[in-house]
Each structure stands twice: as C-alpha cells, then as structure tokens.
Amino acid sequence: MEAYPSPVVEVNRAVAHGRAYGPDAGLAIVDAVSANPSLTGTSLAGGVRGDLLERRGDDEAAAAAFREAAGQTGNEAERQLLLRRATKCFPESV
C-alpha cells in the first residue's frame, strides 16, 4: 500500500520530523505545505507551526502562530486551547 502525499500527511510528517530531527526540520516541511489550498481555513498547519516554534524557543512567533490558528478553527474548544498555548508562550500576546 502506498501513502498519498496529501497536505495533511505532509503536516503530520512535519510533526514527526520535528521530533526526530529538531524543530527547524519540521518547520521546513510545514512551511512548504501550509499555503496549499486544501489547508485553507483550518488550524492544522498553524497549530503545528506554533508547536514547532515553541520547541525551538521562539515564543513570540509561536504565540502568533497559535493565535492565527485559533482564528481559523470553528471549534470553540480547539480555539480556547490554541489561545491558552499562545498566552503560555508569550503572555503579552493575547
């Protein structure tokens, strides 16, 4: 069975690469795929980007990514989680 390299698969690969090879490796993948139209209006790429930036220690950029992702979800629980993560990274950001 062959895996289709869809944008969602690529975002998931970014998470795995970020864990295995460091946040910059994951960010390269998520940044390359995040402009794909099938991810438009979803919080997936932004949430992963925020997590990778936080792992890299770039708290201000992570907070911005989490806030952006929060604005792209229609799920209130997910929105609150993303905003909490933004505040945790950079309290002045919310």
Given pLDDT bands bounded at 50, 70 and 90, which one contains residue 3?
A: low
Question: Going from the N-terminus, what domains does the chain have, and what CATH number goes with each?
Answer: 7-93 (1.25.40)
Half-sphere exposure of 63 (CA within 13 A, CB side): 13
Q: What is the pLDDT of residue 2?
A: 59
pLDDT at 5 over 60: yes
Identify which of 24, 63, 28, 25 has the alpha carbon closest to the alpha carbon of residue 47.
63
Q: What is the pLDDT of residue 68?
A: 96
pTM surpassing 0.95?
Answer: no
Q: What is the pLDDT of residue 4?
A: 72
The DSSP result for 36-94, as a single string, is -GGGTT-SHHHHHHHHHHHHHT-HHHHHHHHHHHHTT---HHHHHHHHHHHHHH-GGG-
Higher pLDDT, 4 or 46: 46
State pLDDT tens for residues 17-67. Answer: 999 999 999 999 999 999 999 998 899 999 999 999 999 999 999 999 999
- Determine the residue type at 81: L
pLDDT at 1 over 60: no
